[in-house]
Structure 1
Amino acid sequence: MKRWMKLAAGAVAISLATAGCAGSGGSGNTAQSNANAPQQLSGELTVWLMTGSAPESLTNALHKEFQDANPGVKIKYEIQQWNGIQQKLTTALASQTPPDVIEIGNTQTPAFAAQGVLADLTDSVNDLNGSQWLKGLKDSATFDGKTYGMPFYAANREVIYRKDLFEQAGITTPPASRDEWLAAIDKLKAKFGSDPDFQALYLPGQYWYSLLSFIWDEGGDIAKAEGKNFKSTLNSTEAKAGLEFYKKLVDASGTKAPKDNDEATPQQAGIYGGGKVAMFIGTPGEVATAAKTDPTIKDKTAAFAIPGKSAGKSAPVFLGGSNLAIPLNSKNTAAAKAYLKLLSGQKYQTEVAKGGYVPGTSTDISALSSDPFASVMAKAAQNGRAVPSSPKWGEVESGQNPLKDMMTAYLTGKKSIDQATTDANAALDKLLAGS
């Protein structure tokens, strides 16, 4: 480092001396002009985006505009598959020749940031439309007070329901509070409950993404930051209240979903597509999955935001999505930042929205307004949250998730709420501490 500083100082001295010898001719003005000229970018820019994240129309237009503005840069665009991407990213980021722009899941960002393999983008936030960033994703891109990613897109959950069944049960407007939601369940059961296969709400016992909404709505959280570390708060009064409401919803719903499994086993959209379920909590994309079972079901389906405790205010939702980052060892950081700057603008964020996602760096969700499912999702996303930005969070989701164990234990009556939350709190603390 000292040797580099001496060489740099010598270069500056030579430059000044040369300028001083130029006299009153035009070379001094030329030097000033060159100093103020935009930086000319060059070299190869390798971009890794995940399959399904960006439509070809977006990337084609983006890459053409970028290369027209930067003819010295060659973009090497590679679409990656989700299967096996964790290991592929780990290997690439540890190398001396990683890609220059990567897409990573929002729960992966803190882990890679903690490993010191991502470039610090804190000083570039304003250039990347930072004032418009979706808050929940912004939090996921932050680690130890610094920013290591740019929000790309998000999706979140809503209540997907059968319009025809609601009408037949006399429910004229979607529920706008928890109490109205429970009342709607009662009306649906009164109308269709004679059918032993009917379920007013399909709600699995380990659907912890949905549980988060109720914990957050009560003012609680699953963990709180303590310096660089996180401390579990599953045994707080607020977290317990959220879990209690979840049980109340399960008990009232008539759900036949397993209490010891999540929404993916069995796939809840397929159950909804069977025609005996009035509601489930899911993402807009699950409507298309349900239509594989019954092609007519989409026209019978609508959505409303997960109701909150207070009337007219929806519950906070978990934002799942992606961030874009620049590997620390990128050989073309300047071009990578310019690429992100272009992508963060309104033009391309609108294209992200047209693809059915909530844009990560724009508060303009008008492109989603015509879609009855995406529009509800986008509005709810403005009250979205992220899981704790702990580098250990990936181990929570991929391993023996304490939240799932807690939910099953409490819902089945194997443990009291105090015991279930105390045990889960201790287990989560161990995972977050890395022991």
Structure 2
Amino acid sequence: MKRKLIAAIGAAALAATVAACGTGDSGGGGGDSLTVWLMDGSAPQGWLDELNAAFEAEHGVRVDVQIQQWDGIQDRVVTALSEDGTVDVLEIGNTQTVGYATAGGLADLGGLADEPWNENMLASAQVDDTLYAVPWYGANRVVIYDKSVWADAGAEVPTTREEWIEALELIEEHTDAEPIYLPGQSYYVLGGFIADEGGAFAVENGDAWAGALATPEAEAGMDFYRELQAFSDSPTDNDEASPQQSTEVAPNQEVASWIGLGWEANSAVAAIEEQGGEADFGYFPIPGKTADEPGHVFLGGSNLAVSERAGDKDLATRWLRMATSREWTRKFVDAYDDGVVPGRADVTAEPAAGSFAEAMVRSAGAGFLPPLTTGWANVEAPPNPIKELMTKALDGDDYRSAAEEADAEITARINRE
């Protein structure tokens, strides 16, 4: 159920296609109703039904949940936020929130600022220390590995980068499997390696932003990416979606490991079973430089916000407060079958031992986000200069000159509204 949502996580390049609004009436709340926009595959239906029944009983209003598709959501949200009473509460991708808040479309939620929000997620909901949304949940990538191949190679689950490389070397030496499938342009994975070194894609420079790839930290992150990618047969100019690693790669060739999201792991299992096979996957956090802390991972996810032009901002805030309360967050986490990182620090996810979710939650504390600025969407729009740099570096081009060229493009794009 979560596939469409998790696939869209991290898509800060906001879609330009105009599409019709989601299900339900187009009119907003006010008076005896409340309009809530949630994304397709986001909230477990049982949780949502129970929450709304409780809210309706307490407040005597009807909650109209309208399910939206990620494709074309940018235009629909911009339109809704510019109109009175179209939507009261809405779900927003965490990399998109700053843009909507800066444009004046989101209500100030300062009354919720003292709640124990997950610190790694909170930055995406704030602008100049003002809270314009609240963290709802997050998800991140982990390493998915074929347990039987690793056992045949005598490889152990690693806790450091060094152990990771040693395991891949054993697999390469003792099996016919591709040790790791790593596309040339999986740039959020690269972002984690750069963050491990203390670097970032871009940094603030006074009132503007500047690309930060021509730095020792970014180069060290790319060096480790190159070391890993040398174990892969993937071309250097493709990303994790082309071909789709979960349904087109992992089920159709002998791959010992790959880096992916929860929905991808589930899709790979289903595809293998459809072919009459049996998946035997294990999961571990992307290793860090030392065993003390896992590697950094992009912590994508969703926030909940209230429209500045909601029909009833007070009622909308009450629904949002209830949905993200400790009680209902606990129920949400329990109902979310793919695993989720809760938006509240006082709710702990307790996934099953050995599951994808367990590995994901263990690494979430080392989560990172891309630059939280409206112009970041311009950077991620094709052709993405970070992806282009990765291919050049993997193909043997001089890193520093290629990175300086990418930085110039990033700087020009990120400072353009």
TM over 0.5: yes
Answering whether residue 76 of structure 2 is matched by residue 88 of structure 1, we say: yes
User: Aligned to 1:368, what secondary structure does the other structure show?
Assistant: coil
Give 1:180-191 correspondences, 5 Å limit. 180-191=163-174
Provide the residue aligned with 2:140 in structure 1: 156
CA shift, 1:45, in A, is: 1.2
Q: Please, which of 209, 212, 229 is the counterpart of residue 230 of structure 1?
A: 209
Q: Distance in 1 between matches of 2:368 and 2:188?
A: 11
Provide the residue aligned with 1:23 in structure 2: none
Is contact 1:153-1:352 (8 Å) kept? no
Moved more, 424-433 or 338-347: 338-347
Provide the residue aligned with 2:107 in structure 1: 119
Q: Deviations over 1:357-414 (max 9, x none)?
A: 221124533442456111110121122111111111122223321110110111112x
Q: Please, which of 310, 316, 319 is the counterpart of residue 290 of structure 2?
A: 310
Provide the residue aligned with 2:246 in structure 1: 269
Q: Please, which of 293, 303, 310 is the counterpart of residue 271 of structure 2?
A: 293
Q: Distance in 2 between matches of 1:191 and 1:360?
A: 43
Answering whether residue 264 of structure 2 is matched by residue 281 of structure 1, we say: no
Q: Distance in 1 between matches of 2:390 and 2:110?
A: 38
Provide the residue aligned with 1:65 in structure 2: 54
CA shift, 1:298, in A, is: 6.4
User: Aligned to 2:33, what secondary structure does the other structure show?
Assistant: strand
CA shift, 1:291, in A, is: 2.1
CA shift, 1:262, in A, is: 0.5
Q: Which amino acid aligns with 1:168?
A: D
Q: Which amino acid aligns with 2:121?
A: L
Is contact 1:406-1:420 (8 Å) kept? yes
Is contact 1:273-1:292 (8 Å) kept? no
User: Aligned to 1:277, what secondary structure does the other structure show?
Assistant: coil
Gaps of 5+ in 1: 1-40
Answering whether residue 199 of structure 2 is matched by residue 216 of structure 1, we say: no
Distance 1:42 1:367, change over 3 A: farther
Distance 1:308 1:344, change over 3 A: same
Moved more, 58-67 or 364-373: 364-373
Provide the residue aligned with 1:55 in structure 2: 44
Q: Distance in 2 between matches of 1:371 and 1:182?
A: 22
Q: Which amino acid aligns with 1:277?
A: V
Q: Please, which of 230, 234, 257 is the counterpart of residue 234 of structure 2?
A: 257
Q: Distance in 2 between matches of 1:353 and 1:277?
A: 31
Q: Which amino acid aligns with 1:333?
A: K
Provide the residue aligned with 2:121 in structure 1: 137
Q: Deviations over 1:28-84 (max 9, x none)?
A: xxxxxxxxxxxxx9532110111111011111111111122212x221111111222
Answering whether residue 64 of structure 2 is matched by residue 76 of structure 1, we say: yes
Distance 1:59 1:227, change over 3 A: farther
Q: Distance in 2 between matches of 1:65 and 1:298?
A: 42
Answering whether residue 307 of structure 2 is matched by residue 340 of structure 1, we say: no
User: Aligned to 1:117, what secondary structure does the other structure show?
Assistant: coil
Answering whether residue 374 of structure 2 is matched by residue 391 of structure 1, we say: yes
Q: Distance in 1 between matches of 2:135 and 2:359?
A: 20
User: Aligned to 1:139, what secondary structure does the other structure show?
Assistant: helix
Q: Which amino acid aligns with 2:244?
A: Q
Aligned residues with identical type, % of pairs: 36
Is contact 1:160-1:281 (8 Å) kept? yes
Q: Which amino acid aligns with 1:93?
A: L
Distance 1:283 1:363, change over 3 A: farther
User: Aligned to 1:262, what secondary structure does the other structure show?
Assistant: coil
Answering whether residue 404 of structure 2 is matched by residue 422 of structure 1, we say: yes
Is contact 2:342-2:349 (8 Å) kept? no
Q: Distance in 2 between matches of 1:410 and 1:225?
A: 25
Answering whether residue 177 of structure 2 is matched by residue 202 of structure 1, we say: no
Provide the residue aligned with 2:151 in structure 1: 167
Is contact 1:290-1:297 (8 Å) kept? no
User: Aligned to 2:250, what secondary structure does the other structure show?
Assistant: helix
Provide the residue aligned with 2:333 in structure 1: 353
CA shift, 1:226, in A, is: 3.9
RMSD: 1.8
Q: Distance in 2 between matches of 1:393 and 1:299?
A: 38
Name which one, 1 or 2, has greater alpha-carbon Rg: 1
Gaps of 5+ in 2: 1-29
Is contact 1:201-1:280 (8 Å) kept? yes
Is contact 2:326-2:346 (8 Å) kept? no
Q: Distance in 2 between matches of 1:357 and 1:238?
A: 30
Q: TM-score, normalised to structure 2's length?
A: 0.87
Provide the residue aligned with 1:15 in structure 2: none
Q: Which amino acid aligns with 2:146?
A: R
Q: Which amino acid aligns with 2:294?
A: S
Q: TM-score, normalised to structure 1's length?
A: 0.84
User: Aligned to 1:224, what secondary structure does the other structure show?
Assistant: strand
Bigger fraction of residues in helix: 1
Is contact 2:145-2:256 (8 Å) kept? yes
Q: Which amino acid aligns with 2:367?
A: G
Q: Distance in 2 between matches of 1:201 and 1:346?
A: 39
Provide the residue aligned with 1:7 in structure 2: none
Provide the residue aligned with 1:24 in structure 2: none
CA shift, 1:228, in A, is: 5.0
Is contact 1:234-1:421 (8 Å) kept? yes
